[in-house]
C-alpha cells in the first residue's frame, strides 16, 4: 500500500480524492475514505487533492497512525 488515509478524513469525507483518482481505487467507508492497495498506482494525485491533508505515504505513518493502515487493509479484505 502506497498511501493511507488518516484521522483528518474522519467525518470530513470531502471526496476530492475520489474524483481525482485515475484508477478509481478510493472507496467510501462508513466514516472515512479508503485507498485500495491492490489498485493504487502510487501516482500521488489524491495527496495533492486532499483539502485536509489526510493522505500520507505508508512509510511516513507514525506509530499513532498505524491503526489507519490496519483499518484500510481490513476494509478491502
* pLDDT tens readout for residues 32-61: 999 998 889 999 999 999 999 999 999 999
In DSSP terms, 22 is beta-bridged to none
pLDDT, the chain, mean: 92
Percent share of the chain, pLDDT over 70: 99
Q: What is the pLDDT of residue 65?
A: 93
Q: What is the pLDDT of residue 1?
A: 56
- Give the residue numbers spanning the domain of 16: 3-75
Three-class SS of residue 55?
strand
User: Checking phi first, is residue 22 left (phi over 0); if not, alpha (psi -120 to 50) or beta?
Assistant: alpha
Whichever domain contains 52, its CATH number is 3.30.70.20
Number of domains in the chain: 1
Amino acid at each position: 500500500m502506497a498511501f493511507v488515509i488518516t484521522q483528518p478524513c474522519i467525518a470530513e469525507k470531502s471526496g476530492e480524492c475520489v474524483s481525482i483518482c485515475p484508477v478509481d481505487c478510493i472507496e467510501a467507508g462508513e466514516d472515512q475514505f479508503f485507498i485500495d492497495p491492490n489498485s493504487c498506482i502510487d501516482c500521488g494525485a489524491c495527496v495533492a487533492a486532499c483539502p485536509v491533508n489526510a493522505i500520507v505515504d505508508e512509510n511516513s505513518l507514525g506509530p499513532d497512525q498505524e491503526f489507519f493502515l490496519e483499518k484500510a487493509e481490513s476494509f478491502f479484505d
